[in-house]
Amino acid sequence: MNWILLVIAGLFEIAFAFCLGKTKDTTGAEMYWWYVGFLICATTSFLLLIYSIRSLPIGTAYAVWTGIGAVGTVLIGILIFKEPANFWRIFFISTLIISIVGLKAVAK
């Protein structure tokens, strides 16, 4: 169950990064709504991380959480914000995914 909460926390980390990205493209009231979304997603992400580390090793949980956030944020950047997707970016994101799966596999 705690692994599921950790993955959900990582998804909320992606969401708060997305909200920050949207604030660059907006002004006025719309920008403030993206900041509200950021605060909600960040708070939810951190609370789920705190809850999940009660029974998971902190080093593994934190690495998986940040890894999910990093991979997801790069993918959001490529797919939504039209950031470049060159060979090396994809290569290193792939190695990060492999590392996250490896950490999960060796965690007790």
DSSP secondary structure string for all residues of the chain: -HHHHHHHHHHHHHHHHHHHHHHTT--HHHHHHHHHHHHHHHHHHHHHHHHHTTSS-HHHHHHHHHHHHHHHHHHHHHHTS-----HHHHHHHHHHHHHHHHHHHH--
In the chain, the number of structural domains is: 1
pLDDT (0 to 100) of residue 103? 86
pLDDT (0 to 100) of residue 39? 98
Please tell me the pTM assigned to this model: 0.88
Residue ranges of the chain with per-residue pLDDT less than 50: none
- Its domain, for residue 87, covers 2-106
